[in-house]
Structure 1
């Protein structure tokens, strides 16, 4: 077994592990997006999944560039904003705009790693 460096992923066995987390996250986001197309409630798990992908992207940028392209970020944005508009009245007023802004900010952060 080869050891490349002292980082957690710095050995032959662990080097591909971050990709597994990206793949799982992307799969989860795709399922959530399908659900959110007509979800009629003020809660959603999308932003936390996207935020975790963003955190992983910042830690593993080269893996992110190989994986994030699988997400249709514009479609996700459209579905998220449609969900927000549809459910806005059910979200406490003090959080409405912040949730929307948070989603947009996370998606913009992920765009840095989207390489077709």
Structure 2
């Protein structure tokens, strides 16, 4: 049997093509880690939430490619990320217009809930 394998009808179900979603996943993961570092260094102290956009993109990939997420999610220190966001929120929530504040917070909570629901293949995180 050769190296070329077709395992299904979907675009990613052939040799090496299944690695493409992983590359996107890692790209978003790097962006999340960069934004987390910026939050820790207080770069985003004006109410902007780029972390939530990157988190939403990561979850979009995870929904479509759950095996990719399960293989790679351990590299994201989820609890630390949530704690970092919470500290940022405490410092910045009043900089967000009041009419959006509750909705943004609810959206953030939903994103983090979904993030924590991803089961990792790693034995420990």
Give TM-score, length-normalised by structure 2.
0.86
Q: Contact conserved, 1:69 with 1:114, CA < 8 A, in 2?
A: no
**2:74 maps to 1:80:** no
> 1:101 and 1:76 mapped to 2: Cα distance?
17
> 2:33 and 2:10 mapped to 1: Cα distance?
30
Name the Cα RMSD after superposition.
1.3
Match for residue 70 of structure 2? 65
Trace 1:16-95 onto structure 2 (pairs within 5 A): 16-37=19-40, 38=42, 39-95=44-100
Question: How many residue pairs get matched?
Answer: 116
Q: Which runs of 5+ in 1 are unaligned?
A: none
Q: Contact conserved, 1:9 with 1:17, CA < 8 A, in 2?
A: yes
Between structure 1 and structure 2, the one with the greater Rg is 2
**2:13 maps to 1:10:** yes
Once the two structures are TM-superposed, the CA of residue 7 in structure 1 deviates from its matched residue by 0.4
Give TM-score, length-normalised by structure 1.
0.92
Q: Which runs of 5+ in 2 are unaligned?
A: none
> 1:30 and 1:102 mapped to 2: Cα distance?
20
Q: Which runs of 4+ in 1 moved over 6 A?
A: none
